[in-house]
Amino acid sequence: MTTTTFEPKIVGFLCNWCSYTGADLAGISRKKFAPNVRVVRVMCSGRVEPSFVMKAFESGADGVVILGCHPGDCHYAEGNYKTLRRYPLLKKTLAQLGVEDERVRLEWVSASEGDRFAAIVNEMTEQVRRLGPFHQNRGKNVKA
């Protein structure tokens, strides 16, 4: 790897109960992973509006991960099912706006899955790095 490696900026929307706790666990157990994902905490992945994702790309993100509790484990009983149902719609809209499929990813991470969180961050970073930057000019036509 050369010094000019592209370092993607990725926004991570994490639900407070499972995924954020899982990310904390990764920290407590000193797992090492790529610094590219910056976390925005929401109470439930169900709170993540498509406009948030658009906003992220508009503001210069190269990728977005949405992490929630495993289906059935949602602190709010079924919030993450809502997320799941809304997700394909989001993907479609993004596709229309020319955002590659691989730039957005929805995953379940429980409070005990620190390793999994670290793994997902690394995978996603690599994945987006391969895609290259999400150019501003394309960013423009993404309006939140």
Binding stretches for other proteins (CB under 8 A): 7, 9, 11, 17-18, 20-21, 23-24, 26-28, 30-33, 35, 38-44, 46-49, 51-52, 55-56, 59-61, 72-79, 82, 86, 110-113, 115, 118, 144
Minimum distance, C-beta of residue 96 to other proteins, in the bound complex (Å)? 20
Q: Which of residues 60 and 98 has its CB atom nearest to other proteins in the complex?
A: 60
Minimum distance, C-beta of residue 108 to other proteins, in the bound complex (Å)? 12
Residue found by looking up tokens 């990725």 in the block = 10
Residues 6 or more apart whose CB falls under 8 angstroms from that of 8 comprise 36, 62, 63, 125, 128, 129, 131, 133
Phi and psi torsions of 108, nearest 5°? -105, 125
* Structure tokens, 35: 């610094």
